[in-house]
A and B are shown apart, each in its own frame.
Chain A
């Protein structure tokens, strides 16, 4: 006889487990608590930033609950977020979104970390018509799909390095050169986010007629980019742009120092989350870093106070932060949008709340939030900061600039 027993036992086990797990099929509101759901990267390659985002969500939830919660009708609700770990992989993220919606009955979603994960999850929330406010997926392609239930509080990725291109053009003109004479070297990680940033840079560069002399893609397991930098050294571009999440920033910062790259202007993303100032000190001076948010900006709201207040509260709540990464700030902002939308909709019906989200127009510590028809936030600019004597100072756009830009870079000369 064949091992019938095992399979029968398995079948029975399957049934029992499924029954046990299928309890809360309608858990959008438990008692006086509104349940938000999020698949977030707690392990895997995005876990550092995933945890920043989770901390941001938690801080906002805590703050809102302390301030009395969310008032819908004449009842005050507390907020709570259910998390699953998506292991930084899109396939897993899509499965977990399905699970949050179908099995846990979540009706209100917060986004995952990174554009890739958001790209995988957005189709799921869209098909179940579950509104999702995300704070970490910046890829433009998310907002050209006609999604009705996806909203993003952050600026889209083509804006990350756009201001560094226009800054380079400005400086060229000031020095009596044409913007078209500017030569650019690019190194971008081969992932959805960085490629989208790259597309933005390419668009802007061609607008000015600038010439791209190096166009390398960095691999996932990036531990060395000296081959790319050797090219940069030989071709002497006027501007070097790098984007590859935290590891790209760390690797680039280290090897730019080591290889004495004398490019007069260098811009890279994720400087703050890579902590390059702490790691590499003075060698990072005059590097330009785009950011979604800075604690020195004059934004303000009724929950956290000013951006600086948020910065302080965040550092007091979570250990080990020397600077607050913008990934955390925008995550908190997403939760604020949920609260605001629930109260304006004055209902827990997901479609009414969705319409309220679409009509959002609020000022937060993170900046103004107003969504386009495509769902991206069009009211908040990106700012460009420069590392000056170990401090991040805003240098562009001029409306927000607190310091003049240092050009050319001193380090590396």
Chain B
């Protein structure tokens, strides 16, 4: 471990590589986490299937690549397919748990997560898959740092998507209805907003965002049907740290998590990269507890 730290001091350029890798991947984490923040804030549903939605999007990108179409185009239809899937899941399950206690939604979405990952496993098998972007890879700073174009492209796309969603929430009728429902569902209902439709739309929008994030992930990392849980936990870490309805916070936390993971993997060893994610979750929860206890509240 000390060797690794030493290495970072001796070759400071490595920091650039780790930072860049962390930021590029962190942007995608932030995107998926933003979807979770939406669902959490608007409908108070803690979606444990979040990561599995991401992986589903990834498999759509993979299938696109297999069909001979460039996987970047999956960015168009993965959100569409996932939107429809989200709508179906909402109608079948989520609509029945929205006003129940929170453990119900947690466990129900956990069940959905298992169905998704095992379904993917039956369709695609348990091997890891990727979608190849075929984009160029650049060496910068004397070759010690490499940046693949796909990471840059995905970073930009993440920003564009996030901006699109934010504009939508601000400007469109539906966006306004969603924000109104988040503030006070009963008042929104009184004012003639069909909250059931708002919920359905919010949940589907989240699934679509996850789908897009999944497409990007698959072009950078590899995916497997069972990788969803780690992505779910990442989203939870980010949202818990940032609080919902706090987009800048989500972005900062997302990028931070991406970087923390890279450094965790580098300094402690690759076997600790995932522990870093879970460890961050526990730390964030503890920190929130301390924060809340100052105002004599508990984290609920």
Bound pair (A, B): yes
Chain A residues within 8 Å of B, Cβ to Cβ: 43-48, 51, 187, 190, 216-219, 221-228, 230-231, 233-235, 246-247, 250-251, 254, 257-260, 273-274, 279-280
Asked if B18 lies at the interface with its beta carbon under 8 angstroms from chain A, I say: yes
5 tightest A-B contacts by CB?
A: A227-B265, A217-B271, A247-B128, A227-B266, A216-B270
Q: Is the CB of A246 within 8 A of B274?
A: no
Can you list 27 A-B pairs with a CB-CB distance of less than 8 A? A43-B118, A43-B121, A46-B126, A48-B125, A187-B270, A190-B271, A216-B271, A217-B270, A223-B222, A224-B273, A225-B265, A225-B270, A226-B265, A227-B263, A227-B265, A227-B266, A228-B266, A230-B21, A230-B266, A247-B224, A250-B127, A254-B130, A258-B146, A260-B137, A260-B146, A274-B128, A279-B130
Asked if B227 lies at the interface with its beta carbon under 8 angstroms from chain A, I say: yes
Asked if B69 lies at the interface with its beta carbon under 8 angstroms from chain A, I say: no
By a CB distance below 8 angstroms, the chain B residues around A216 are 269-271
Mark interface residues in B1-15 (1 if CB within 8 Å of A CB, else 0).
000100100010010
By a CB distance below 8 angstroms, the chain A residues around B139 are 260
By a CB distance below 8 angstroms, the chain A residues around B263 are 227
Asked if B154 lies at the interface with its beta carbon under 8 angstroms from chain A, I say: no
Q: Is the CB of B126 within 8 A of A219?
A: no
Q: Is the CB of B17 within 8 A of A221?
A: no
Q: Which residue of A lies closest to B151 (CB)?
A: A258
By a CB distance below 8 angstroms, the chain B residues around A226 are 21, 262, 265
Task: Give Cα A273 to B18, complex, Å.
Answer: 30
Q: Is the CB of A258 within 8 A of B270?
A: no
By a CB distance below 8 angstroms, the chain A residues around B226 are 45, 221
By a CB distance below 8 angstroms, the chain A residues around B127 are 48, 246-247, 250, 273-274
Q: How large is the interface on B (under 10, 10 to 19, 20 to 34, 35 or more residues)?
A: 35 or more
Q: Is the CB of A259 within 8 A of B146?
A: yes
By a CB distance below 8 angstroms, the chain A residues around B266 are 227-228, 230-231
By a CB distance below 8 angstroms, the chain B residues around A235 are 7
**Closest CB-CB distance, B213 to chain A, in whole Å?**
14
State whether A219 and B222 are in contact (beta carbons under 8 Å apart), knowing that A44-B126, A260-B146, A274-B127 are contacts in the complex: no
Asked if B104 lies at the interface with its beta carbon under 8 angstroms from chain A, I say: no
User: Which of B127, B146, B270, B274 has the most chain A CB atoms inside 10 A of its CB?
Assistant: B270
**Closest CB-CB distance, A53 to chain B, in whole Å?**
14
Q: Which residue of B lies closest to A260 (CB)?
A: B146
Q: Is the CB of B227 within 8 A of A47?
A: no
Q: Which residue of A lies closest to B148 (CB)?
A: A258
**Closest CB-CB distance, A70 to chain B, in whole Å?**
33
Task: Give Cα A45 to B264, complex, Å.
Answer: 25
Which residues of B in the span 201-253 have a Cβ within 8 Å of any Cβ on A? 221-224, 226-227, 229-230
Determine which of A234, A274, A280 lies in contact with B14 in the assembled complex, contact meaning CB atoms within 8 Å.
A234
Task: Give Cα A43 to B114, complex, Å.
Answer: 13
Task: Give Cα A46 to B224, complex, Å.
Answer: 12
**Closest CB-CB distance, A335 to chain B, in whole Å?**
24
By a CB distance below 8 angstroms, the chain A residues around B21 are 226-227, 230
Q: Which residue of B lies closest to A228 (CB)?
A: B270
Contacts A225-B265, A260-B143 aside, 10 further interface pairs with beta carbons under 8 A come to: A47-B126, A48-B125, A217-B269, A217-B270, A219-B273, A226-B265, A227-B264, A230-B14, A251-B222, A254-B222
Q: Is the CB of B270 within 8 A of A219?
A: yes
Asked if B132 lies at the interface with its beta carbon under 8 angstroms from chain A, I say: yes
Asked if B25 lies at the interface with its beta carbon under 8 angstroms from chain A, I say: yes
Task: Give Cα A260 to B121, complex, Å.
Answer: 32
Task: Give Cα A43 to B225, complex, Å.
Answer: 11
Q: Is the CB of A234 within 8 A of B128?
A: no
Task: Give Cα A48 to B125, complex, Å.
Answer: 7
Asked if B144 lies at the interface with its beta carbon under 8 angstroms from chain A, I say: yes
Q: Is the CB of A223 within 8 A of B148?
A: no
**Closest CB-CB distance, B13 to chain A, in whole Å?**
8
Task: Give Cα A221 to B117, complex, Å.
Answer: 14
Q: Is the CB of A258 within 8 A of B25?
A: no
Determine which of A46, A219, A231, A251 lies in contact with B128 in the assembled complex, contact meaning CB atoms within 8 Å.
A251
Task: Give Cα A260 to B118, complex, Å.
Answer: 35
Q: Is the CB of B7 within 8 A of A224?
A: no
Determine which of A45, A47, A233 lies in contact with B144 in the assembled complex, contact meaning CB atoms within 8 Å.
A233
By a CB distance below 8 angstroms, the chain B residues around A254 are 130, 222
Task: Give Cα A187 to B265, complex, Å.
Answer: 12
Q: Is the CB of A227 within 8 A of B7?
A: no
State whether A223 and B271 are in contact (beta carbons under 8 Å apart), knowing that A230-B17, A247-B128 are contacts in the complex: no
**Closest CB-CB distance, A113 to chain B, in whole Å?**
12
Q: Is the CB of A223 within 8 A of B270?
A: no
Which residues of B in the span 55-107 have a Cβ within 8 Å of any Cβ on A? none
Q: Is the CB of B125 within 8 A of A47?
A: yes
Task: Give Cα A252 to B11, complex, Å.
Answer: 23
Task: Give Cα A225 to B222, complex, Å.
Answer: 10
User: Which of A223, A224, A247 has the most chain B CB atoms inside 10 A of its CB?
Assistant: A223
By a CB distance below 8 angstroms, the chain B residues around A230 are 14, 17-18, 21, 266
Task: Give Cα A48 to B118, complex, Å.
Answer: 14
By a CB distance below 8 angstroms, the chain A residues around B144 are 233-234
Q: Is the CB of B224 within 8 A of A223?
A: yes
**Closest CB-CB distance, B101 to chain A, in whole Å?**
25
**Closest CB-CB distance, B145 to chain A, in whole Å?**
9
Q: Is the CB of A224 within 8 A of B4?
A: no
Mark interface residues in B252-286 (1 if CB within 8 Å of A CB, else 0).
00000000001111100111011000000000000
Task: Give Cα A280 to B131, complex, Å.
Answer: 10
**Closest CB-CB distance, A283 to chain B, in whole Å?**
10
Task: Give Cα A236 to B221, complex, Å.
Answer: 23
Which residues of B in the span 106-138 have a Cβ within 8 Å of any Cβ on A? 118, 121, 125-128, 130, 132, 137
Task: Give Cα A273 to B263, complex, Å.
Answer: 31
By a CB distance below 8 angstroms, the chain A residues around B17 are 230, 233
Q: Is the CB of B7 within 8 A of A234?
A: yes
Determine which of B14, B130, B274 lies in contact with A250 in the assembled complex, contact meaning CB atoms within 8 Å.
B130
